Amino acid sequence: MMRSSRQLSHMRATLAICVALLLSLVAKQSNALYFYTEVGEEKCFIEELPVDTVVVGHYMAETWHADKNAYVIEEDMGIRVSVVERADEHLLVDTTAPAEGKFAFTSHIAGDHDICLSSHPHDSHSYHTSGDHPQIRLHLDIIIGEAKPDNTAADRSHITDLAGRVKNLNDKLKDIRKEQQYQREREALFRDESEKTNARAVIYSAIQGVVLVAACVWQLRTLRVSTEVPEWHRMRKRFD
């Protein structure tokens, strides 16, 4: 009995360690950056996504104040976010939110997606009348492959923290499989294009070889005729 309990404890500890290691290895892909822009200026980024991938973006817009000599988050500054699938020009997100917030969407098809942000103050008349165009520092953190939240976990008291982590791990593994499948499809497409290009190169080389052989034969025949004609003239003059 003591040995069974020790084995059970050892298995639980091993499982917890494995889950912790997998969680540390299988991390979400995150692209954090910041850039400078002006009021009304739109900045776009291209993200290549596999199909059915959840993307969450966190942003924060800070406006430069010369009197404070610092960037400050203004409540009357709004950020417009738009996401477009390049393949079919399908608009996934088009919203205007406060200076700090987040957006989320799920890719319907694999390929490039345009993620565009622009700043638009709620009281734009004050900016136009004053002629002031302050600089804006916009922070953007795009998380690709974020697992969908489990809203029912809070209502289930019997689900342990370890089970929740395992579920999140399974969701992330699904995202990784989607990414791998998308990369395999791209590799297959690239391989087909390479094979077609190689086949065309072989055909062109064969055609060039045939043309070269024909040109050599024609040159040899021309050279032979040109050498036989003077010989025929010399023989004729000798008989005459």
Among left, alpha and beta (phi > 0; psi -120 to 50; other), residue 145 is left
Summarised one tens digit per residue, pLDDT across range 33-68 is: 888 888 888 999 898 888 888 888 999 999 988 888
Distances (CA, A) of 203 to 17, 196, 208, 217, 220: 58, 11, 9, 21, 26
- CA torsion sign for 42, 29, 62, 64 is negative
- Residues paired with residue 63 on neighbouring β-strands, in sequence order: 72, 136
**Can you tell me whether residue 8 is helix, strand or coil?**
helix
Whole-angstrom distance, CA of residue 38 vs CA of residue 118: 8
pLDDT at 83 over 90: yes
Cβ–Cβ < 8 Å for 51, 109: yes
Cβ–Cβ < 8 Å for 55, 104: yes
CA nearest to 209, candidates 221, 219, 201:
201
Summarised one tens digit per residue, pLDDT across range 123-180 is: 654 554 445 667 899 999 988 875 444 445 444 544 456 566 767 777 788 888 888 8
The answer to pTM > 0.85 is: no
